[in-house]
Structure 1
Amino acid sequence: MKTLHLITALFIFLSGFISCQTIVDLHNNSNPINTPNTYYKDIGDKLNPYVGTWVYDDGTSYIKIVMIKKIKFPVWQYFEDCIIGSFQYKKNGIEIINTLNEINSSQTHPINYPIFGDRLGDTSRLNPFHQYTSDNVRLKTSIIENGCISHMNIRTLTLNGQPAIQIDKRKPFEQPQDCNPVIPGGFYYLIKQ
């Protein structure tokens, strides 16, 4: 009986020790590193304003972006809060690409979603939105279109009394020349639906 109690006590002790986890503010780290058993948490819920369904429609081009926040997403040996998303793009009413169903898929890493990101841009540096606002806080994401990865900076704002985001989409320099993203690069305002 003593042995059973000793084994039970040892098991409880080791279970508590193994489940210990360090919580680190996601926004005070340049990039999470593969630190085992660390949780890079969105302290202050700074990613929340980017969550939602957002639409751009100028009569010719239509972009719909859906973004959700994943809490404590397992990444290798650590966890992090992040934004994942999907999108749809139409040109002259014809659907060119649609990844909206992929947001509901179970992926093993955030980079496997069509849109992913978790870093708020450095407000002290010049960024693509400097001509629009002095508030340079932005979410830095990537968007994958037919195998091409583009950079997409996102800022929140209010447009005509409605919640909105402005995106700056650009093909990164390091992409091969034959990689042609589907959605044209540039600035777009999307209204929350």
Structure 2
Amino acid sequence: MKNIILIVLMIVTFTCKAQSPIVDIADRQIDLVDGVYLKDVNNELDKFIGTWLYTNGNTSLIVKFQKKTQVYSGKYYRDILVGEYRYIENGIEKINTLPNFDNQDNLESLYEHSLISSLIILKREFPGCSNCNDNEKRVKVSFSDPSPNLSHLDGMSMGLRYMSELGVPDKMQIDFAKKGTSLIPVGAAQEPNLPFGRYVLTKQ
């Protein structure tokens, strides 16, 4: 009988250690500890899952997002939004990373995606949103352009705003900007292939 009780206690102890403490990704008033799980408790990331399209004449932007849950990041676990994009300007394709969306086996890590996020931000947090409500939640996305001649650009981020209206397709507002004072070589590009600015995309 004592052996049975001991085995049960060992199983319970092991189970408790194996479970990660869960913290809402929108809660930044806590100290992160090793093994914590930053979970998308209120499904803020889910709003952006899918394919989105912006068009202006013969200029277009396609963005695709999907959600990955409980991804290990070295110290803790977190839910993340990963994505890729394609930008065509005046009928000419400037950048296309969409193949990495469908062929993720070619990536060594989910963190190699061009668009990655798990951070919830508000109106005045970078990149700012002039037409957002004060307490409106957005998602901040780290942006990268894989073009080798743009490696000098860093600190680029997108703020995603979800907009829903009865009877019309959902929309996503992107505020895209660069933060920081990194030195840009003389004559080098000041922005990536996708220009900084605001884009309003429609859910496809």
TM bucket by the smaller chain? 0.7 to 0.9
Query: Identity, % of aligned pairs?
Result: 24
Q: Distance in 1 between matches of 2:60 and 2:126?
A: 29
- Alignment partner, residue 160 of structure 2: 154
* Alignment partner of 1:94 is 2:105: no
Report the Cα offset of residue 50 of structure 1: 1.5
User: What is the aligned partner in structure 2 of residue 183 from structure 1?
Assistant: 194
Partner residue, 1:115: 115
Deviation string, structure 1 residues 50-104 (Cα, Å, up to 9, x no partner): 2111111112321100011111111113110111110001112221111112124
Q: Give distance in 1, aligned partners of 2:120 and 2:96.
A: 26
Give, in angstroms, the shift of residue 12 of structure 1.
Answer: 3.7
The Cα shift of 1:109 comes to 5.3
Aligned partners of 1:162 and 1:173: how far apart in 2?
A: 35
Quick check: 62-71 or 89-98, which moved more? 89-98
Q: State the AA in 1 paired with 2:42.
A: G
1:171 aligned partner:
178
The 1-side partners of 2:55 and 2:69 are apart by 31
TM-score relative to the length of structure 2: 0.77
Q: Which runs of 5+ in 2 are unaligned?
A: none
Query: C-alpha root-mean-square deviation of aligned residues, in Å?
Result: 3.0
**1:144 corresponds to:** 144
Partner of 1:19: 18
TM-score by length of 1: 0.81
**Structure 1 residue runs without a partner (length 5+):** none
Counting matched residue pairs gives 189
Q: Look up the equivalent residue of 1:186 and give its one-letter code.
A: G
Greater Cα shift, 114-123 or 64-73: 114-123
